[in-house]
Structure 1
């Protein structure tokens, strides 16, 4: 019996060693291939990153992926290999090659679904759609974001900017020494604007009577997708990430989708006389019509892209202005000399040079989406920055690393709005590398709306108040990133204009 047990133990141990040896051999062979024979071997980067996704996955889950990738670009240059099949670029040419219109008979790059993940209902939205459906979506939605539509929507946007000012005045009157959390106030404002523009029905968040949990669900849904992206590198990570991602995060993400779905169902049964986005969408000809599931998926996208990113840009710019009092004084003076309160409107704001320079610089030093939106090389391969790249490789231009690169911008880590005002010191800045709303046929459809919102909200606030930064928010910009910034409270003291 003892002999049998010994033989059996040896047999099992032998098979374990054999299995371990096979796995180890596969890892070694794969590593040798990636380092010595892969078509991406010429691209510099950490050797470990070339043979495993774990390094990139680790920094994604940790929330410091943008800083890690920035350090790689500093070390290795404007093209970096940061995983076995992922390349990051920081040049203006890369924007054109990766995201621009296809030419020379090649196919366009498609979105990398490993990066974006699925929508809550499994139906692609305009970001995740294939080329055919994207074109249909774009033609449908373009009317809702046209200059004509924006002019018609101007009173609505101004109305909510005025409500924000009234809410801030209320806070100051209650307690002159009180501090206001501006991230929250900007979020409520952009959420109210986008809710009304999208569904034609006020959400009443600034009034304090709306569904406040919806706001928290926005970032939660984005963070959850970012964390679950880690599991798309290796299937065996799926179970681990299911345990790591908090249940509260999943519940908030589900609540966001359910709220959008309910609003769509309500809106399609209404006849309204104001120009909301969904009303214009439903007026389109039959060939462009959206299915109900497509309405659901795109509505939840609009409520993310049209709220969180604009509020982030406003928060980041407010912080930078507070950290640079001389810039704050200059922009405030320009706004107050240009207007009386009731005159503040989109057309004139678009011509205020320093205001618009500050907005551009704010988007550069604190881009609302600091990561790179990954694309897949199409069948047949393509040339990027002069080098051929085979099919199915993931490519991106990384906003944070690109905008902080000394190859693109002088004094890249400083907040200097003057670089956007034809100051000769910055004549050699490569402004073509700056694409905060992406580039090409799939760039952000809401770009003009976002600029209008940022101008009028910031102008209204600075027209009425002098601002000062509370001590606890001095290091506000030290934040983690999960596709979007995980923003901390921005505590500000408001002083009514004398």
Structure 2
């Protein structure tokens, strides 16, 4: 009976905890095994309780003995982990908060309000350009990092965060370079010049609906909540590209329930991005929890819509058409369902949750700086905005978009990379192997070493004042190298057209006393940026 020799029992279980760390958990990745480990430990505790009771102990003694045995095991395990991480780990010499080297739970607490972009920027101000923000994580705020981890010839891979979507898998979440390259070839077919021409026609259709709705509100003298309308527009467009059908939000003037689920589910990524293993536990053990339930419901909705899209055959080509067609040609449709489901989620999130916030912040700056509206209106004079090539030649329009992407990156802190096993050297600093590297775009955009007046919105830095860009290496809004955004051309065309259409048709200003305070107060970093409410006044030009 364990209770007959409690001191010996607790010493043994504590030693087992230490050995579990030194012989097992110190090696490899364990985030995907987290649900299994929780089940194993729970069953072990229950088994100890039953054994102790069957050997003659009463219920209270059995429960007490089991609790102390498990606690001593946990004490040994976590003591070993913390001592190793703080005293022997290969990242122990890098600066950062003391607790960050021991556990990522401190980061979860810091991100509880979805302000990770500010958390990392504050750490940058306190500790410098290289900060240990986790036991096996470095945040590096240096313009050289994006090229070093994503540029040609690099051997970095995507970090454990990208397993978030499993068992579904997608082009932008697979950590296998081989699988990524194979899938990317299929996606490239879906974004050929011929396919882009078809997609852009649909963008124009929905943008005109958006403009008509804004015009109606303008004549009514009502404010336009662009934080809603731009998201409704981008999600309606991406619904067409993913499932060959719109969400209908521009017409209905309200959130579609599935998109509402998605937006609530994305809030998981705010506090829990630092600890993806907790999300795995929640998905498999507590699927009934509020936000987890929303995430799983959203994923099931996407699976159902992709199933309907497959059954629909071949409507006018959308992005899913090319993905489904590739599976049909390989006679691997069922085997590829997890890829198709994952890619559908990717289309929706990557195409909506990145373009919409960029449009919101672009119009915030246009309302804040009316002279940019005048300059843009002058540039658009004589331009056929329905001609993509002519719009591409509008340098101030493109500069406004680039400056918005710089100052308000749609992915403020995401894009985690893992260093190769042999390690990597960045600016003479050696980063050991298998370390997560974070290069927050929000902070990179505010480096005085890269930009003059880094905190200010100055589109001319990309046109007539190139001296204001000292080091452009940190500016990679669509990533680069093998992981660059496959939809970059479409995204730029979409943003150019919407901005050109609305600026030509309306004069934009702030509504009431709010000058963007709510926009920033409620801004959330949940992998993609989720801006707060922004009400603007749109006046139809004469």
Shorter-chain TM range is: 0.7 to 0.9
CA distance in 2, matches of 1:330, 1:288: 54
Change (3 A) 1:143 1:16: closer
CA distance in 2, matches of 1:109, 1:425: 32
Shift of 1:212: 1.4
Counterpart secondary structure, 1:306: helix
Counterpart secondary structure, 1:207: helix
Asked whether the 8 Å contact 2:239–2:245 carries over to 1, the reply is yes
1:436: which partner in 2?
477
1:347-393 CA-partner distances (Å, limit 9, x unpaired): 11111011100000001111111013212223333333333333321
Asked whether the 8 Å contact 1:31–1:51 carries over to 2, the reply is yes
Instruction: State the aligned residue count.
Output: 479
Residue 351 of structure 2 corresponds to residue 306 of structure 1: yes
Shift of 1:246: 9.5
CA distance in 2, matches of 1:71, 1:464: 41
1:132: which partner in 2?
178
Change (3 A) 1:393 1:491: same
Q: Where has structure 1 moved over 4 Å in runs of 4 or more?
A: 12-33, 237-243, 245-248, 287-290
Asked whether the 8 Å contact 1:98–1:384 carries over to 2, the reply is no
2:216: which partner in 1?
170
CA distance in 2, matches of 1:408, 1:288: 50
Residue 399 of structure 2 corresponds to residue 357 of structure 1: yes
1:335-354 counterparts in 2 under 5 A? 335=380, 337-339=381-383, 343-354=385-396
1:37-436 counterparts in 2 under 5 A? 37-102=88-153, 108-113=155-160, 115-119=161-165, 122-129=167-174, 130-173=176-219, 175=220, 177-208=221-252, 212-229=256-273, 231-232=275-276, 247-272=289-314, 274-284=316-326, 286-287=329-330, 291-335=336-380, 337-339=381-383, 343-428=385-470, 430-436=471-477
Residue of structure 1 aligned with 2:492, choices 439, 446, 451: 451
Counterpart secondary structure, 2:109: helix
Asked whether the 8 Å contact 2:104–2:275 carries over to 1, the reply is no
CA distance in 2, matches of 1:33, 1:211: 49
Which stretches in structure 1 are left out of the alignment for 5+ residues? none
Counterpart secondary structure, 2:110: helix
Counterpart secondary structure, 1:62: coil
Which stretches in structure 2 are left out of the alignment for 5+ residues? 8-56
Shift of 1:220: 2.2
Shift of 1:215: 2.4
Residue 461 of structure 2 corresponds to residue 461 of structure 1: no
Counterpart secondary structure, 1:495: strand
Change (3 A) 1:213 1:33: same
Change (3 A) 1:35 1:469: same
Asked whether the 8 Å contact 1:117–1:229 carries over to 2, the reply is no
TM-score, reference length from structure 2: 0.79
CA distance in 2, matches of 1:241, 1:77: 39
Counterpart secondary structure, 1:468: strand
2:520: which partner in 1?
477
CA distance in 1, matches of 2:106, 2:302: 36
CA distance in 2, matches of 1:411, 1:250: 42
TM-score, reference length from structure 1: 0.86
Change (3 A) 1:288 1:493: farther
Counterpart secondary structure, 1:127: coil
CA distance in 2, matches of 1:211, 1:181: 13
Shift of 1:127: 1.8
1:415-456 CA-partner distances (Å, limit 9, x unpaired): 11111114154152x112111112220122111111111111
Q: Report the more deviating stretch, 16-25 or 358-367.
A: 16-25
CA distance in 1, matches of 2:104, 2:268: 19
